[in-house]
């Protein structure tokens, strides 16, 4: 039987993964995130299951490899937190490339609808018996232009959702997708033409802070910016300035570039020391969710199923299209 150390475990993870344990693979669930302070927990396990905010740098990977861990299976699509060069020849890395693109696309549209129609503010008002409509005016999505940066499976799903609302869809991606229902253009054209800009791309060295003071200056006044991909795609300081100046009309963030210390955790009894995060949460035209977009029953089931299969492929020496290697 192969034993797997499962880090950053939440109750919903445990419920979904327990269903896929078998006589060959068993999980030991740990609430701790994987990092240099906790990596000793994994010593002598056969494998590690990690998530987006676990630290998989050179030191952690070297330690795991030296202590008998041969495989790390990420229960997510992104792998920007992994030092792939350090892992080469030491530890195999696998991921779940697609679990529910519809879940993230639908969450993205939910954020747009909530921000536009001020549903979060209306909900609070009516609970206080305030039935005024003052300040709750939105706009029709029909006929508006949405710019999608990243047209992989999630970006294409979101484009389909937008088409259902009667929106014009622009897309920017170095790799064109034949399933994309919108019109491709260059980044500057997308920035200047879009009423709403939504990010659906993986984080790379090339696109870190693709939303910055320069790109924001090229956008339409009052633009909506939505990020359900990776926090470091957005320069937070530049975003805050754009909101303060009125250039950015509203913003929806399911990810945040310094989220590791906060997201997925209950911090309600603590003082948050991150001033940028506090400013964003305090703004009435900003909606922050805690990396929640993926969280549907269907997505959790797919993540568990594919992750267990990734471990099985490794232990049975089978080739897998889900293995990630350094380029």
Just list the catalytic residues: 230, 259, 291
Chain centroid to CA 281: how far?
A: 18
19 within 8 A of 44, measured Cβ to Cβ: no
322 within 8 A of 38, measured Cβ to Cβ: no
Residues paired with 148 in a beta bridge: 171, 198
Instruction: Give the three-state DSSP class for 83.
Output: coil
225 within 8 A of 197, measured Cβ to Cβ: yes
Residue among 299, 280, 318 nearest 153 (CA): 299
Q: What angle do CA 306, 311, 317 make, to 5 degrees?
A: 120
266 within 8 A of 10, measured Cβ to Cβ: no
- As a whole number of angstroms, the longest Cα–Cα distance in the chain is 64
- Token pair 């922050």: residue: 288
How far apart, in whole angstroms, are the C-alpha atoms of residue 289 and residue 278? 13
């Amino acid at each position: 039987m192969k034993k797997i150390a499962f880090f950053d475990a939440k109750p919903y993870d445990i419920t979904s993964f327990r269903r896929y344990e078998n006589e060959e693979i068993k999980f030991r669930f740990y609430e701790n995130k994987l990092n240099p302070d906790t990596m000793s927990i994994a010593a002598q396990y056969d494998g590690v299951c990690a998530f987006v905010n676990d630290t998989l740098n050179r030191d952690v990977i070297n330690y795991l490899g030296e202590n008998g861990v041969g495989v790390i299976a990420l229960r997510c699509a992104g792998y920007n937190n992994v030092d792939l060069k350090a892992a080469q020849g030491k530890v195999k890395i696998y991921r779940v490339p697609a679990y529910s693109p519809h879940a993230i696309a639908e969450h993205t549209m939910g954020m747009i609808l909530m921000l536009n129609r001020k549903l979060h503010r209306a909900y609070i008002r009516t609970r206080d018996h305030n039935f005024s409509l003052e300040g709750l005016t939105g706009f029709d999505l029909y006929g508006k232009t949405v710019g999608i940066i990243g047209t992989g499976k999630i970006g294409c799903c979101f484009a389909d959702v937008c088409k259902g609302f009667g929106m014009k869809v622009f897309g920017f991606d170095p790799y064109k997708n034949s399933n994309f229902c919108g019109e491709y253009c260059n980044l500057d054209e997308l920035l200047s033409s879009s009423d709403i800009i939504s990010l659906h791309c993986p984080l790379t060295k090339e696109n870190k802070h693709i939303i910055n003071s320069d790109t924001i200056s090229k956008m339409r006044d009052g633009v909506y910016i939505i990020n359900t991909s990776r926090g470091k795609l957005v320069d937070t300081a530049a975003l805050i300035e754009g909101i303060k100046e009125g250039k950015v009309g509203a913003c929806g963030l399911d990810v945040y570039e310094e989220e590791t210390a906060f997201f997925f955790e209950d911090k309600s009894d603590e003082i948050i020391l991150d001033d940028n995060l506090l400013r964003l949460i305090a703004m009435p035209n900003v909606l922050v969710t805690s990396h929640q977009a993926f969280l549907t029953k269907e997505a959790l089931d797919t993540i568990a199923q594919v992750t267990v299969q990734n471990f099985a492929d490794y232990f049975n020496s089978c080739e897998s299209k889900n293995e990630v290697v350094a380029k």
